[in-house]
Structure 1
Amino acid sequence: MQKSRTGVTDDAGRHAKWSGRLVGLVAVLAMVNFVVDSAITAPLIVLPEMLDHFGTDQPAWLNATAMLAGVAWAPLLGKSADIHGRRRVLVLALLLSCAGAVLCAVAPSIWLFVPGRMLQGASLAAVFLSVAIVRGVCAPRIAMIIVGIVTSGSAVLNIASRFLIEKLATQFGFQILFLGSAFVAVVMAICVHKLVPDSPVRTPGKIDFGGALLLGGGLAGVLGYISLGSDLGWLAVAPLALLVCGIAALARWLLTSSRKPDPLIDIRELSGPLVLTLLVVFLAAGSYQSVLQLIPLVGDVSAGQHLGYGLADQGSVALLLAAPGVGVTLGGPAAGWIAARVGPASTLAGAVLLGTVVTIGMFLGVSQLPVALCCGFLLGVTVGALGTSGFNMAGSLASPERQGIVSSLVMVMVSIGSVTLDFVGAAVLKSTSVVVDGETTRSVTGVFSYIAIAAGAFAIAALLAVRLVRSTRLGTGSPSRELQRDAV
């Protein structure tokens, strides 16, 4: 890479070193990712209040619809960003999230609230569009570090906001959460429009709306069955209809996308290393999400119940929920820094190996608080490192004009993995439950089986990650060579 006279940008006009403008860009994009939390996960805090308000006992409709819709939005918005510009589409995603939040705040019934949550799901695009913007305006070496900061930097804000949301919801009702989310989304949309530069790189072509509808609807249908089946019944009409329609849509998408000259995702151009990367992300994301789901469950049980696990009487269990957040904040930037030196493939493999070891450590962590705190923190580091490394790895394998759609695939795999492994873990716990003092509770067999499944998925991901490292070292277009060219 040839340095410019200022030494701050390269010949392509991309940021090559830290500057005031770059710091401002990072701050804006980190706050953009905070919008995602306020739209997707923060409503879990007021879930009981929402169930009472709408008079329903189906929490999945109130919560899961945002994530499912986000998976459906991702490919469409990713492709649109490559064609029409990443900044423009990011602003659109934030405004859609704002509109959905307002709709949720004023919804008189669940039938209006659910469409609002579906609009909020568009905010999920903010994660991968932020990554695509960073890779477009920054040189590869510094981009890897910034991706870690942007995707993980809002974790501390997420922890702090939980306490504020809980207090405000008590005083003003759960609607205040959605009004706050709408306000943050519109403010960040203005900031992105005013402060974030747009990449001049464009992909010629048009958007395959039919393919987007088939792929997004198919993914949402299959995941909807997995997410809603446990609440509504696996053989109930609505979940089964979602599953059948989802499979049919995906089959139709595969058939038509192989024939179109400009499909939404050209599966013929998916390289072996990219497919390996997506598989690693799918398995690892699902594994760490399932373990994170297990931590509060074992933290709610006392060892005095003699179930063979439990942490409730060993100290401040609240630390269990805070430790992963701190780890995420550190793990993302650290993974970016390491990737800039050894390459994203090796960093991704290291993150997966760390996750495997930490998950195995949870066999002791479910009954010993110090071990659980250590594992929780390291699992957070794993989460941050995996997200950063996954985006960096996929981005390094994509051409500049395909950064949006490729980054969206990473987000889709994270979501699918999380939903799938969460379901598998929940099913294991339910099938192995025992009755103690007249109450049904989770058995130690179920808890250990749960951990074993997560560790097994991590181990498979580790094997795939090692193969990925070998394939990128042998490949002519490997990320390591991209970094070498950047250093010239």
Structure 2
Amino acid sequence: MATTQQRTDHRTDHRVTFAVLCVGVGSFSLLQSMVTPVLATIERGLDTDQATVTWVLTAYLLSASVFTPIVGRVGDKVGKERMLVVALGALAVGSLLAAVAPSIGVLIAARAIQGVGGGVLPLTFGIIRDEFPRDKVAGALGTSAALLAVGGGIGLVVAGPIVDALSYHWLFWLPMILTATAAVTAHFFVPESPERAPGRINVGTALLMSAWLVALLLAVSQGHSWGWGSPTTVGLFVVAAVVLPVWVWAEARSDSPLIDMTMMRIPTVWTVNLVSLLFGMGMYSMFAFLPQFLQTPDEVTGYGFGASVTVSGLLLLPQTVATFVAGLASGRLAARYGSKAMLVAGATLTSLGTLGIVLAHDHVWQLLVESTVLGLAFGLAFAAMSNLVVDAVPQTQTGVASGMNANIRTVGGALGGAVLASVVTAGHRPDGFPVESGYTHGFTLLVVTSALAALVALAVPVVKARTHLVPGPQADAESALVAGASGN
């Protein structure tokens, strides 16, 4: 068996690897949010209707939710670098197809292909853990995790100017160029991980997981327009409720599970995943509804600021900068205070910042201060969640554990967005705009979910960071240790 020294000879400098990974994560997160502010423009450009154009978002959500954990697990088994190139390639191909799409159907298909790129997230975390010096792992994980929130914020900022100066097609051309470059660079410069998870790829449980995820997210994302009591919506919820326990049962009995239920029962893993669900409800809902609030014409409704898409994005720029700064600082803060403390602080600040919006939203400077607090919170919490999950699982399960954590956060975002849409639009003015109380009630709900996230974060057990292990008896001993920590 090759020694660690032999395997690490001639490997790429970790800083080069990190630059490639950041481009991939940043591009994926941009594509999550950049399209949202310009759906009306796409609707007009492709001569479609509002109900159909929302599938541009839904297709991406469904595809990413399915492929994020699957690609992460395949990377654990066949090689993270190899699958990173595949994920980046899917982002590039999907972006190219979206940029030249002649119809809404082609654009929706392109967005589904882009969703495969969700695998970039768990693969990035796994490669960092495998390749970086131990003292650099926490900072690198924090920065790359914060890029998820940063990219979401930047997408809202740049969407308007790009469409105004060029066209909505460039919302896809630019990510295509970035991800294609990153895919080629990853092939040549990102080293292949020596770590491999044993066993085969369990196709059956992958299909079961895909079935309940798609049923749940499709019902949640479309229920508002279909009607929460419609046969289609109710039927999808029933499918999700039936298939989910079947999937858990099948994974628990499998000798080669896609998602190891023993790993999911590790106290640190399941508590952080619960925080991710609650935190995702608040963060992604804020990304969706705060720009709408800013764009509401105050001279008509008596609230809002009548900002354009471009101006509302620029008003959220301080939030994005704060998220990036918090992500950069997260490594040092975690080393000094611990990732658990950062997670509690991030969730608490989210609750306080959202409460500020509920109580004081009549002046621009108030929202600037409050959204900046939210930005700091997002950066701290994203970094802490990634560090806690990565440190809690064996090295051969980093990809799938990170993928499920990201996936659960996405599910939380979908749930939060659906609930908030129902609350905000529960009452309408004669001019069609929501009443102001709809926003305040909706944001109050997010205060509650964020406060619950902070309380759950207090219960997260602290796991000592694991060192790099080579395959063999040490790795087996580590797996036994994790199993013991989960009570098995």
Query: Could you say which TM-score interval applies, normalised by the shorter chain?
Result: 0.7 to 0.9
**Distance apart, 1:176 and its partner CA:** 3.8
Shift, 1:350, TM fit: 1.6
Q: Is the 8 A contact 2:7 2:194 kept in 1?
A: no
Cα distance in 1 for residues equivalent to 2:347 and 2:393? 22
Shift of 1:280: 0.8
- Contact 1:345–1:465, Cα closer than 8 Å, also in 2: yes
Deviation at 1:291, TM superposition (A): 2.7
Q: Distance in 1 between matches of 2:389 and 2:355?
A: 28
Q: How does 1:434-445 map to 2 (within 5 A)?
A: 434-435=428-429, 438-445=430-437
| Residue in 2 that maps onto 1:136 | 130
1:120 maps to amino acid:
Q
Question: Which residue identity does 1:479 align to in structure 2?
Answer: K
Q: How does 1:349-388 map to 2 (within 5 A)?
A: 349-388=344-383
Asked if the contact 1:39/1:123 (under 8 Å) is kept, the reply is no
Give 1:298 shift.
Answer: 2.6
* Structure 1, unaligned runs of 5 or more: 1-9, 473-477, 484-488
**Number of the residue aligned with 1:147:** 141
Task: Pick closer, same or farther for the CA change 1:167–1:430 going to 2, 3 Å.
Answer: closer
**1:342 offset after TM fit, Å?**
2.4
* TM-score normalised by structure 2 residue count: 0.85
The answer to whether structure 1 residue 479 and structure 2 residue 464 are counterparts is: yes
Report if aligned partners of 2:68, 2:117 keep a CA contact under 8 Å in 1.
no
AA partner of residue 112 (structure 1): V
Distance 2:298 2:104 in 1: 40
Instruction: Give the Å deviation of 1:265.
Output: 0.9
Does the CA contact (< 8 Å) of 1:14 and 1:138 recur in 2? no
Specify whether residues 11 and 461 from structure 1 end up closer, same or farther in structure 2 by C-alpha distance, changes over 3 A only: farther
Secondary structure (helix, strand or coil) at the match of 2:362 reads: coil
Contact 2:319 2:375 in 1 (8 A): yes
Quote how far apart the aligned CAs of 1:139 are.
3.4
Distance 1:90 1:167, change over 3 A: same
* Match runs of 1:35-434 below 5 Å: 35-52=27-44, 53-58=46-51, 59-153=53-147, 166=160, 169=163, 173-236=167-230, 238-269=232-263, 270-301=265-296, 307=302, 309-312=303-306, 319-431=314-426, 433-434=427-428
Secondary structure of 1:440 counterpart = coil
Instruction: Tell me which residue corresponds to 2:450.
Output: 458
Provide the aligned length of Structure 1 versus Structure 2: 458
1:31 is the counterpart of 2:26: no
TM-score (norm 1): 0.85
Change (3 A) 1:155 1:194: farther
Task: Go from structure 1 to structure 2 and tell me whether the alpha carbon gap of 1:353 and 1:51 turns closer, same or farther (over 3 Å shift).
Answer: same
CA-atom RMSD in angstroms: 2.9
For the residues of structure 1 that align with 2:288 and 2:163, how far apart are their CA atoms? 24
Q: CA deviation at 1:266?
A: 1.7
Q: Which piece of structure 1 moves more, 195-204 or 47-56?
A: 47-56
In structure 2, what residue type is equivalent to 1:56? D
Determine helix, strand or coil for the equivalent of 1:446.
helix
Cα distance in 2 for partners of 1:70, 1:480 equals 29
Alignment partners' CA distance in 2, 1:397 and 1:176: 41
- The match for 2:475 is none
Closer, same or farther: CA 337–220 of 1 in aligned 2, 3 Å: farther
Give the superposition deviation at 1:200: 0.7
Structure 2 residue runs without a partner (length 5+): 469-488
Greater shift, 132-141 or 156-165, is seen at 156-165
Distance 1:399 1:209 in 2: 22
What do the CA deviations read for 1:360-393 (whole angstroms, capped 9, x no partner)? 2112332232221111111111112111111111
Q: Is the 8 Å Cα contact of residues 364 and 372 (structure 1) preserved in structure 2?
A: no
| Percentage of pairs with the same residue | 23
1:214 Cα deviation after fit = 1.2
Instruction: Give distance in 1, aligned partners of 2:171 and 2:444.
Output: 37
Q: Which deviates more from structure 2 when the two are superposed, residues 346-355 or residues 157-166?
A: 157-166
Shift of 1:454: 0.7
1:448 to 428, 435, 440: 440
Specify the SS of the correspondent of 2:442.
helix
Residue pair 1:218, 1:247 contacting (<8 A) in 2 also? yes
1:202 Cα offset (Å): 0.7
Distance 1:14 1:410, change over 3 A: farther
SS of 1:479's partner is: coil
SS at match of 2:49: coil
Deviation, 1:156, is 6.8
- Asked if the contact 2:157–2:317 (Cα under 8 Å) also holds between the matched residues in 1, the reply is no
Deviation string 1:417-469 (CA, Å, 9 cap, x unpaired) is 111111111111111x242xx3133223322221221111111111111111x
Relative distance call for 1:113 and 1:353 in structure 2 (3 A) is same
Residue pair 2:321, 2:375 contacting (<8 A) in 1 also:
yes
Give the 3 Å change call, closer, same or farther, for CA 423–254 of structure 1 in structure 2.
same
Q: Equivalents in 2 of 1:31, 1:238: separation in Å? A: 39
Kindly indicate whether the alpha-carbon contact (under 8 Å) linking 2:33 and 2:155 is maintained by their aligned counterparts in 1: no
Report how far residue 205 of structure 1 moved: 0.7
SS of residue in 2 equivalent to 1:191: helix
Classify 1:234/1:344 alpha carbon distance in 2 versus 1 (closer, same or farther; 3 Å): same
Q: CA–CA distance in 2 between the matches of 1:403 and 1:385? A: 20
Whole-angstrom distance in 1 between the partners of 2:406 and 2:422: 24
What is aligned with 2:479?
A: none
1:247 is displaced (CA, Å) by 3.3
Structure 1 position 327, deviation (Å): 1.4
Distance 1:350 1:240, change over 3 A: same
